[in-house]
Chain A
């Protein structure tokens, strides 16, 4: 179950990353064309340094366009430059690979503060072109500081119909919306509605989730939200199905531990499992308590109040703890008076009358039972 959750998160992150890369690439391409600077006309090379710190982000890339092409001056964004350095000192390496920061998702960045003048080889200034890509700079800074990505406003560039569908889905937050309700609220023609939904799913803005109660119906949720417990069924559910295997494993393990320890509290059992790493999957103390209560309902263990003496030594008096019963509980279940005769489990007992269509003298269950 947890593995699935992790996979889901990884997939989501992957999709998000790809989307961002795609967007960034597009933006980069467009900006490259727009903001190529010809430094021939500048006496000093100016580098934008953010006000808040000395760490400066990428400023250059190898020339893409021939000299003389592109914009000839700094754009308004570069007017915030606070430090001015001689161009000879801040020349990037002719081999860009040396200066690239491998950690950067976008590449082509380096820190100006770390730049040593001696390391640099003077290159004629007219051979160097700088790209002023402010958005790239900013994103890199933010990425390094590990603050959340300023995502592009979802649906900003979406067509009207898609935005409408997305907003409806988003309005439900973590509660997924069933497709029929969505269609009803969107009031869009079927083909358009289907297309919108398909596009939204393809773009990763919307995802389909299984609903634990309505397994046959399609439910959608915004990618910004995680489905609520009402939708997923809670911690014991995986893909809308009860994770019976995991429950059974936990139950069996708990019984084995209780047999070994004789008397346990729920915290004691949780600590034991955690300490000895008995179960591979992570589980919470809440889950262990629930498992213990289910075992009591199964009549496999009994809950008793601690007396503080003997086996209960170390457990506070009056605290609920669990132990295996001394007698055989299973035997008493099998040896019920009613269940040992056909009438006890007969589905037609209410219709059975002496001399009736179903009667004890003609009963097939009796005949089978008495057939030695």
Chain B
């Protein structure tokens, strides 16, 4: 789908050029000549085509077509300035500005400023760029899961606060309070102070659990090489391959202590009354980070948002525990859950490759806290640790144990792809695929056939089919025998590219599920409108039940598929 531009925004561009994935490379060249354009930035490399389509569909569903058009432009073209967005989308300035504000409010776009060298006799100028955050957009479809986690852990009242943040993207404490008061008007009119305390308490619980965090800096500034101080230069040297977007995100992110720092005093006053107050947060590092804390209005009111990272971590733990429970047994699952619970505070990143080292006693004590783990003894825990890949020494003195999480995640990913191969092709194909996933180098057809007990002709047929569907990589090597020149085929499984392909297919499938669900709902509404009053009670009820079950299947399939998407993308 290419939309052509009939006119150009600046004098350098005199050709019509399309927008969309199929735009000509020459377009990029022309853009780079534009004096007002941002420095050449990279298109988000890891976002697959269907990942973008799904994100655009989600934005379109939640915020409408204009916002989705702006979002699609940013996702496809990469980081852009306001002028560029205006040019590519052909929307009015007001519309684009509003769309960007909505996207920023809902944490789907991050703005940052960068210093640009001026032209002839022109001074340097600071340009604001906007980049779409694909992961955050996709997280929008996981809100029901996040809500369920909060509800399970903290109950209804916390869920209400959390729901407000999901709905509005970013809120200050006062806004959260107002929202709560509006919802519980009869209660709040009488016991105002106690309600505030309840909200404050629940809010603190959410922060303590790291379910919510302070918003990152709204417009971080990326300094040019000349202006960078020594520390920044050292940092840049450490990560020379860091893109502009990565730099902006790193700058925007608050310090760990700042992210979850709650204000010391929360006033009972209305927002208007405390508009002149400044937050009295006393945290280490505040002085340094003060200018970049997230705030949208002049009085620097602190804004809060949902911490997607924590939910991703929780869902990762859940996925690993489920996999281990299925693969080994329930006790191994209990032990692993205990390890996660004991080391929650020490986890630094989401994609931790190994668990934090813990002693046997700590693991055992933590396991005993859960209902299922009460019947366990030390030997059983030790046995499960062996099953999880730990080596237990004969004489253990202050031994600590870590579990290789990456291995478990890899195993789960492989299992998902293998199940596709098995169902789509055959058991023989499944065996061949598994054989190739274990081989590190290229394998010839004969070796594959011999090792997997598949007839040579049949093996070749399967291999070609897998290659055609991009599951395998093939190379032809000519060998000269005594009698004739023969050509041998060698095969290899390139996990990185195949996994990317599978992820793209998953995004595609998720989009299809969403579209089909929307279609079915639309169809049902139309049908019900037409049949209103025409069909009897039982018949109508049966139809409604059928539709409901259809929607349930589509919805639950979507949730399961989303788990698989997270397994491949976020874990």
Q: Which residues of A contact B (CB under 8 A)?
A: 181, 212-213, 233-234, 236, 241-242, 244, 247, 290, 293-294, 297-299, 307, 310, 325-329, 331-341, 343-345, 347, 349, 352, 354, 359-361, 363, 366, 370, 372
| Complex contact A338–B452 (CB within 8 A) | no
A-B contact count (CB 8 A): 130
**Interchain nearest-CB distance for A120 vs B (Å):** 65
Given contact pairs A294-B451, A344-B509, A360-B515, A326 touches B326 in the complex (Cβ within 8 A): no
| Complex contact A299–B326 (CB within 8 A) | no
Across the interface, B455 reaches (CB within 8 A) one of A242, A339, A340, namely A242
| Complex contact B519–A298 (CB within 8 A) | no
**Interchain nearest-CB distance for A255 vs B (Å):** 15
| Complex contact B519–A336 (CB within 8 A) | no
Chosen A-B contacts, 19 in total, with CB atoms closer than 8 Å, are A233-B456, A234-B450, A241-B455, A242-B455, A294-B431, A297-B431, A297-B451, A307-B391, A329-B327, A332-B419, A336-B420, A336-B423, A337-B564, A338-B502, A340-B560, A345-B420, A354-B511, A360-B511, A363-B512
| Complex contact B512–A352 (CB within 8 A) | yes
Across the interface, B546 reaches (CB within 8 A) one of A241, A339, A360, A372, namely A372
Residue of A nearest to B451 (CB): A293
| Complex contact A343–B453 (CB within 8 A) | no
**Interchain nearest-CB distance for B522 vs A (Å):** 9
| Complex contact A343–B451 (CB within 8 A) | no
Q: List residues of chain B with CB within 8 A of the CB of A233.
A: 456
Across the interface, B422 reaches (CB within 8 A) one of A244, A293, A327, A333, namely A333
| Complex contact A337–B516 (CB within 8 A) | no
Residue of A nearest to B330 (CB): A327
Q: How far is the CA of A360 from the CA of B513 in the complex (A)?
A: 8
Across the interface, A332 reaches (CB within 8 A) one of B415, B434, B549, B557, namely B415
Asked if B467 CB lies within 8 Å of chain A CBs, one says no
Asked if B189 CB lies within 8 Å of chain A CBs, one says no
**Interchain nearest-CB distance for B385 vs A (Å):** 12
Of residues A234, A290, A341, A359, which shows the largest number of chain B Cβ atoms within 10 Å of its Cβ?
A: A341
Residue of B nearest to A366 (CB): B516
Q: List residues of chain A with CB within 8 A of the CB of B420.
A: 336, 338-339, 344-345
Q: How far is the CA of A297 from the CA of B550 in the complex (A)?
A: 37
Q: How far is the CA of A283 from the CA of B546 in the complex (A)?
A: 58
| Complex contact B550–A372 (CB within 8 A) | yes
Q: How far is the CA of A105 from the CA of B435 in the complex (A)?
A: 55
Beyond the given A236-B453, A372-B550, please list 8 additional residue pairs across the A-B interface where CB-CB is below 8 A: A242-B454, A244-B453, A247-B453, A326-B387, A334-B419, A338-B502, A347-B424, A352-B512
| Complex contact B434–A297 (CB within 8 A) | yes
Q: How far is the CA of A111 from the CA of B386 in the complex (A)?
A: 76
Q: How far is the CA of A168 from the CA of B210 in the complex (A)?
A: 82
Q: List residues of chain B with CB within 8 A of the CB of A344.
A: 420, 423-424, 505, 509
Majority-rule SS of B interface residues: helix
Q: List residues of chain B with CB within 8 A of the CB of A334.
A: 419
Asked if B115 CB lies within 8 Å of chain A CBs, one says no
Q: How far is the CA of A344 from the CA of B553 in the complex (A)?
A: 15
Across the interface, B516 reaches (CB within 8 A) one of A234, A329, A333, A363, namely A363
Across the interface, B561 reaches (CB within 8 A) one of A236, A333, A337, namely A337
| Complex contact A372–B549 (CB within 8 A) | yes
Given contact pairs A341-B561, A343-B512, A361-B515, A336 touches B419 in the complex (Cβ within 8 A): yes
Q: List residues of chain B with CB within 8 A of the CB of A181.
A: 483
| Complex contact B505–A349 (CB within 8 A) | yes
Q: List residues of chain A with CB within 8 A of the CB of B520.
A: 370
B490-511, CB < 8 A from A: 502, 505-506, 508-509, 511
| Complex contact A327–B328 (CB within 8 A) | yes
Given contact pairs A337-B416, A338-B506, A361-B519, A307 touches B386 in the complex (Cβ within 8 A): yes
| Complex contact A332–B515 (CB within 8 A) | no
Q: How far is the CA of A257 from the CA of B513 in the complex (A)?
A: 46
Q: How far is the CA of A290 from the CA of B449 in the complex (A)?
A: 12
Q: List residues of chain A with CB within 8 A of the CB of B42.
A: none
